[in-house]
Copies of this chain bind each other. A is one copy, B any other.
């Protein structure tokens, strides 16, 4: 027997309809790409998003069309998203930090037919537009007065293009499982893979994200999403902020400490979210200027593990609650948030920081487990680690075009590629990437733990642990070390320093000293290169 409740499909335009109806006068403040701070409201955005939708239909776009955005966080970018979704087309966010040929590959793979592009990225798009055969419309997010000379064929200025629609438009309706958005993962190996969000997954994710124990944002908040809309849906903030009617502050293209501080201060921002780098830049600015953060209530930090000192400084000196979080593009992106359960709430000082350095627990709507190589679930004991697998209504079940099928199993679990443990309280901590973990005699050794331990030695500048072939154990750990300038710690000094602090069988079989460890563009250790470099290394134990 079915229930007798209303059919009310979870469609994204209902988020912005609600913002207009209940919070129409609430401001959206953007640092525009042209320079000045621009103020608009949810009522304005709602009206203009319907104009975008209507105008796109006039240009022949419709259900299922992929329309790219190559843009910073601004009100216009939000309007574009809702306008695109409102006709059943798909916003496809492009990450401008990728190489131009990667962006061209992604656009071609997605079959993007149109693009909304910020002034900043017109030169970038000029380089690649010719290699995207599907592209037939370029809309530059500015007005005619600021329109640059461009080689892009038929490029139009957003404001004048928009003015050709009168806004007499009703959102199209369709199944809630219709695709709404698209974002490619920047895989460290292989081609990027497309994640295809649905209206239903976006709306449920917005609700999950706004919950008191997740981001916990309310109509009284002023939200500054520093995390870009092209980075995993701006962690859902472009949806959950309108949903609750909070004031929205958009940083445009300036994310340095001074610019972020200016917005935090002038707009009385109460909530923000960004990667650790942003918070470190802001911290440096605050220390230099002596400025404080009287309005800022809470920040969510994710995208990479947040250094303990950053968490502690924001909380102790600036009175800002820090919520460490973890997610993935494939998860819309929220996975876990380190808000406090009652048993952690009472912790103080270092014990509290220990808890906060974990990535947190999964809210309702995210299921997780850690498994061994045989896909057997491992205990939640805070130390047994395995592959982290997740499930939920805002988690991908496949990549666009069927790529990466091996990451999804029959029961619906998605293999994150991360290695983690979960404690008895449900708090998860990432310990490694699955491809980096060292497998010694069938047991796993976490390279991150070994590295964190090694850099505790006063003479070690940087350390990387990698697995090296071993005839008996399969693999054994080799520690690669960069010494601090003028220091000469020996192999045995470093190993002695580590001994007793990890299980005996985790101890590196050898230490190799190098002048430099290779890094990716985002500052992560390039383990693949390092493993290649030490491919023929002969361990003394072998």
Binding site for B on A (CB under 8 A): 1-8, 10, 14-15, 18, 21-23, 26, 63-64, 90, 175, 177-180, 195-201, 207-208, 210-213, 216-220, 243-245, 247, 332, 339-342, 345, 361-362, 364-365, 367, 391-400, 412, 414, 426
Pair A2/B219 contact, Cβ less than 8 Å: no
Q: How far is the CB of A348 from chain B (nearest CB, A)?
A: 16
Highest count of chain B CB atoms <10 Å: which of A15, A200, A218, A391 = A218
Chain B residues closer than 8 Å to A195, beta-carbon distance: 4
Nearest neighbor of A368 in chain B, beta-carbon distance? B21
* Known A-B contacts A22-B362, A220-B341; A180 and B10 likewise in contact (beta carbons under 8 Å): no
Pair A10/B393 contact, Cβ less than 8 Å: yes
Chain B residues closer than 8 Å to A245, beta-carbon distance: 213, 341
Chain B residues closer than 8 Å to A4, beta-carbon distance: 179, 195-196, 198, 396-400
Q: How far is the CB of A200 from chain B (nearest CB, A)?
A: 7
Chain B residues closer than 8 Å to A3, beta-carbon distance: 177-180, 196-201
22 residue pairs A–B, Cβ–Cβ below 8 Å:
A3-B177, A3-B179, A3-B198, A3-B200, A4-B195, A4-B196, A4-B198, A4-B399, A5-B196, A5-B197, A5-B200, A5-B332, A8-B391, A8-B412, A18-B364, A207-B211, A207-B364, A211-B244, A220-B340, A244-B364, A245-B341, A247-B342
Q: Which of the residues B22, B332, B400 comes within 8 Å of A426, measured between beta carbons?
A: B22
Pair A1/B64 contact, Cβ less than 8 Å: yes
Q: How far is the CB of A339 from chain B (nearest CB, A)?
A: 8
Q: How far is the CB of A331 from chain B (nearest CB, A)?
A: 10
Chain B residues closer than 8 Å to A179, beta-carbon distance: 1-4
Chain B residues closer than 8 Å to A64, beta-carbon distance: 1
Chain B residues closer than 8 Å to A211, beta-carbon distance: 207, 210-212, 244
Chain B residues closer than 8 Å to A395, beta-carbon distance: 5-6, 8
Give Cα A345 to B220, complex, Å.
Answer: 8
Chain B residues closer than 8 Å to A220, beta-carbon distance: 340-342, 345
Q: Which of the residues B22, B178, B364 comes within 8 Å of A2, measured between beta carbons?
A: B178
Give Cα A34 to B141, complex, Å.
Answer: 69
Highest count of chain B CB atoms <10 Å: which of A1, A3, A90, A178 = A3
6 A-B pairs with least C-beta separation: A3-B198, A1-B64, A5-B201, A8-B393, A212-B218, A4-B196
Nearest neighbor of A408 in chain B, beta-carbon distance? B6
Chain B residues closer than 8 Å to A199, beta-carbon distance: 3
* Known A-B contacts A4-B195, A212-B210, A342-B219; A22 and B361 likewise in contact (beta carbons under 8 Å): yes
* Known A-B contacts A200-B5, A412-B7; A217 and B207 likewise in contact (beta carbons under 8 Å): no
Give Cα A199 to B1, complex, Å.
Answer: 11
Chain B residues closer than 8 Å to A197, beta-carbon distance: 3, 5
Give Cα A362 to B18, complex, Å.
Answer: 9
Nearest neighbor of A19 in chain B, beta-carbon distance? B364
Give Cα A395 to B3, complex, Å.
Answer: 11
Give Cα A396 to B3, complex, Å.
Answer: 9
Pair B342/A5 contact, Cβ less than 8 Å: no
Chain B residues closer than 8 Å to A22, beta-carbon distance: 361-362, 426
Q: Give 7 A-B pairs besides A6-B392, A10-B393, A21-B426 with Cβ atoms closer than 8 angstroms.
A: A1-B63, A1-B64, A2-B177, A3-B177, A5-B196, A5-B198, A5-B393
Q: How far is the CB of A386 from chain B (nearest CB, A)?
A: 17
